[in-house]
């Protein structure tokens, strides 16, 4: 692409997109590397930009892959597009306007996660049990999967359904 004269900004843009679309949560550093490369390419220009693009390309090519953030947001957007929306639970609704909020029950029963061990409290944030993000075991996303599995276990222990 470089040899054929492709715009270095276009190449950098594709690298940034791939970092989020194809690598995603398996290695979130890929997005940082790609954005840094995009900024450096703008600042440095050719011929040195080729080195920066090679750096970011190699990082992306060798990173673990996951597209689950991408597929998750697309599934959520598809639900919204097709009218499959769910109400915000009352405990998560804005409670800043004290009088009106109290009348409608907004904020009642909210449990502040930071007041609980591990910053986690088994409180439903979306009714209906719909899951949009299903992590892979790939790369760092595997750690996210372990954490979510742990929280789901805590939910089950308290008789909750995920």
Residues 6+ apart with CB under 8 A from 48: none
Residue pLDDT, tens place only, 137-156: 999 999 999 999 998 888 88
- pTM beyond 0.85: no
Residues 94, 39: one domain? Answer: no
Task: Among 62, 86, 107, give the residue marking a domain's end.
Answer: 62
Residues 6+ apart with CB under 8 A from 44: 52
CATH of the domain at 124: 1.10.3710.10
Domain of residue 52 covers 8-62
Residue pLDDT, tens place only, 1-16: 999 999 999 999 999 9
2 inside domain: no
Contact 68, 24 (CB under 8 A): yes
pLDDT at 93: 83
Contact 125, 154 (CB under 8 A): no
Residue 14 burial by CB count (10 A; 0-12/13-18/19+): exposed, middle or buried? middle
């Amino acid at each position: 692409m470089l040899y054929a004269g492709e715009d270095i900004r276009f190449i950098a843009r594709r690298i940034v997109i791939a970092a989020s679309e194809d690598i995603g949560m398996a290695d979130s550093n890929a997005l940082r590397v790609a954005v840094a490369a995009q900024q450096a390419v703008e600042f440095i220009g050719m011929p040195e930009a080729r080195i920066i693009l090679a750096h970011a390309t190699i990082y992306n090519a060798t990173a673990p892959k996951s597209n689950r953030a991408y597929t998750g947001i697309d599934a959520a957007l598809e639900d919204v597009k097709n009218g499959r929306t769910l109400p915000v639970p009352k405990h998560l609704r804005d409670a800043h306007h004290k009088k009106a909020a109290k009348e409608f029950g907004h904020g009642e029963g909210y449990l502040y996660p930071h007041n609980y061990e591990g910053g986690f409290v088994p409180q439903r944030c979306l009714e209906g049990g719909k899951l949009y993000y299903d992590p892979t075991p790939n790369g760092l996303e595997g750690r996210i999967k372990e954490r979510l599995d742990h929280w789901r276990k805590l939910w089950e222990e308290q008789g909750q359904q995920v």
